[in-house]
Chain A
Amino acid sequence: MQATSSLRETLITGGKTVRDVSEDISRQVEGKPSRLWWIAFSISLVLLMFGVYCLATVLWEGIGMWGLNKTVGWAWDITNFVWWVGIGHAGTLISAILLLFRQKWRMSINRAAEAMTIFAVICAATFPLVHMGRLWLGLYWVLPLPNTWGSLWANFNSPLLWDVFAITTYFTVSLVFWYIGLIPDFAVIRDRAIRMGNKTRASIYNALSFGWDGAAKTWMRYESVALILAGLSTPLVLSVHTIVSFDFATSVVPGWHTTIFPPYFVAGAIFSGFAMVLTLLIVTRKVFKLEDYITIYHIELMNIVIIITGSIVGIAYITEFFVAWYGQVPSEFYAFYNRATGPYWWAYWSMMTCNVISPQLFWFKKLRTNIVATFVLSIIVNIGMWFERFVIIVTSIHRDYLPSSWSMFYPTLYDVGEYILTFGFFFTAFFLFAKFFPVINMAEVKSIIKSSSEKKH
């Protein structure tokens, strides 16, 4: 009965049936977590605790605990913010843009990638919130709320306020999109719990599944909702990093005031996001034994996205440099000359090596289908992307128009501590997600079992 087209690549290996999909994916939710899970979870929790201590100190004492000074008023905090937001972009790209392009390989990875998006955006939002100093007044500063000055409203001409709206919308829509996808899978776990007679689990997942019954009419509406959410998320994800880049591009600081920023930031975001998806999924497929669902072919396709976006980022670096020279504006040219040869030269060259040279290694099929090589390179890419943001932000402002104000930025324990906080949160949240939620979209994978799965011999 099973027909496999030779034109289609096999997306699911191991001769899985629809039944096997429910079984394989639900197993990790139903079973006790493994030792490996406990170890990984505990390490993340320790990181989170250390971060919470650093954060509490910064909130109590003020952001003077960070290494900022009068010249460098933005450094690690905004670097980390941009880095985390960028990482989130891969999740939306996979679930929304690949859905519009009808790419079936997204189905095995979209759930975990979207979870990553949501946690990454939460991590990102921490930094601007804390940088406001008095966090508790934040809502009133950033939202157009009436106040006792009669009302003095928020400034809608400011890219920082656009950011507030962009990030909030992005977070909310991603969360809704992710949850809509989870509902049918929660119903699978609910019904399995009913059959196993586990009342507690049945009742929890019954609450989460919103009374899903899988009726043809509901599926029809559901698919309509998913398609429109994808259509909305696609321009949304492009707008988010565009607006993040406006934080810099609309200023008059040399090195920031460039029109290339929006497309260059978006490409960089997808580049780093895919690297993070690879880092997480290579570990997840191993820990939860999902090699049949997240295959080498999936990894290879993601590596191809990394070559493309990595090359766009590389061209953007070179274009920026060329225009700085060709434009003949002394301060603009100095900003770039200083990046490559000034006191932060090591950051610049780390960025160049990690982001421009290392992804080119994926032209070799041997490397892009090799798990270890992919894992190592995915981490290198993310180190490179962190340096990119650091280079753009710190090297541009530490020496701008007025040489008497030139200064250096050195991070303190609390700068580093808050970065560790977000790592702790990110991994703690991801491990909890991987334990309690189905990490692969079962309903979607079931729908392609007939067309794209390996035949049982």
Chain B
Amino acid sequence: MSSTSEKFLVGIFDDEDILLHGVDGIRDKGVKIHEVYTPFPVHGLDEALGYRRSRLPIAAFMFGMTGTILALTMQIWMLGYDWPMIIGGKNFVSLPPFIPVTFELTVLLSALGMVATFFIVSDMKPYKTPRSYDIRSTDDKHVMAIDLASNKLSKEEISRILKDNGASEVNEKNF
């Protein structure tokens, strides 16, 4: 933990629709929102906060292609070149019997690679203790954190804006 204390203003919202309208209203007033913590995925919140679409699908595709290439190269090299064996008088290298393993490895690498990427970009790992702005954010409250250092407006002004836009409580939290 850094020695410099960070000051946050924490707005609590009871309802996801109020939160969604609130985010628009608060951003229109020029307040920079640090992050919103919700107990369940709120659809449209990412757009309201101006987040770019996740690029995880690209990662999944790349890992999938790695799996495809790896599986095909492995099978063709092993059975076609390294140790060719006559099995039922068939060709050493023929594509159809290699498809099942290729498909499975594509799916396996794609899934594992994407999930690993997700954990890395979201900084998720066992025993990591998250910074909790309000412990109720995993239960039933939507919690909006505003970093006072990155906002020009005063604490009182932001607090008023939050209340005007539907926050049921506004608290201060220092780390």
Contact = CB atoms under 8 A, between A and B. Distances in A.
Nearest to A190: B138
B115 A176 contact: yes
A197 B116 CA distance: 32
Contacts of A184: 40, 138
Given A165-B100, A221-B56, A191 B36 contact: no
Interface residues of A, number: 66
A162 B100 contact: yes
Given A165-B101, A221-B118, A210 B126 contact: yes
A328 interface: no
Given A217-B51, A228-B114, A156 B125 contact: no
Nearest to A3: B17
Contacts of A17: 140
Interface string B12-50: 000111000000000000000001111111100110010
A219 B42 contact: yes
Contacts of B138: 22, 184, 187-188, 190-191, 212, 214
Contacts of A213: 37, 130-132, 137
Interface stretch (A144-152, A267-275, A312-320): A144-152
Interface string A212-234: 11111111111111001100100
A140 B62 CA distance: 30
B106 to A, nearest CB: 9
A457 B136 CA distance: 26
B6 interface: no
Contacts of B136: 191
A216 B131 CA distance: 14
Q: What interface size band does chain B fall in?
A: 35 or more
Interface in B112-169: 112, 114-115, 118-119, 121-132, 135-140
Given A229-B111, A447-B40, A153 B101 contact: no
B107 interface: yes
B15 A1 contact: yes
A173 B101 contact: no
Contacts of A211: 123-125, 127-130
**Interface-centre pick from A152, A213, A450 (highest chain B CB count, 10 A):** A213
Contacts of B16: 450
A172 B111 CA distance: 9
Contacts of A187: 130, 138
A114 B103 CA distance: 22
A335 B139 CA distance: 60
A208 B98 CA distance: 38
Given A155-B87, A239-B100, A214 B137 contact: yes
A244 to B, nearest CB: 11
A216 B122 CA distance: 11
B35 A215 contact: yes
B64 to A, nearest CB: 8
A218 B130 CA distance: 12
Nearest to B128: A211
Nearest to A444: B40
A2 to B, nearest CB: 10
A283 interface: no
29 contacts: A19-B140, A22-B39, A22-B139, A151-B83, A156-B75, A169-B104, A169-B105, A169-B107, A172-B111, A173-B108, A184-B40, A191-B139, A210-B124, A210-B126, A211-B128, A212-B138, A213-B131, A213-B132, A214-B137, A215-B36, A217-B46, A217-B49, A217-B122, A220-B41, A221-B118, A224-B57, A229-B111, A232-B111, A236-B104
Given A157-B88, A165-B100, 16 more contacts: A17-B140, A18-B40, A18-B140, A19-B140, A156-B78, A156-B97, A157-B79, A162-B100, A173-B107, A176-B112, A216-B37, A218-B124, A221-B56, A224-B57, A232-B110, A450-B16
Interface of A: 1, 17-19, 22, 144, 150-153, 155-157, 159, 161-162, 165-166, 168-169, 172-173, 176-177, 180, 183-184, 187-188, 190-192, 194-195, 206-208, 210-225, 228-229, 232, 235-236, 239, 243, 246, 443-444, 446-447, 450
Interface of B: 15-17, 35-42, 45-46, 49, 51, 54, 56-57, 60, 74-75, 78-79, 82-83, 85, 87-88, 90, 97-98, 100-101, 103-105, 107-108, 110-112, 114-115, 118-119, 121-132, 135-140
8 nearest interchain CB pairs? Answer: A211-B128, A213-B130, A162-B100, A18-B140, A153-B78, A210-B124, A447-B40, A446-B40
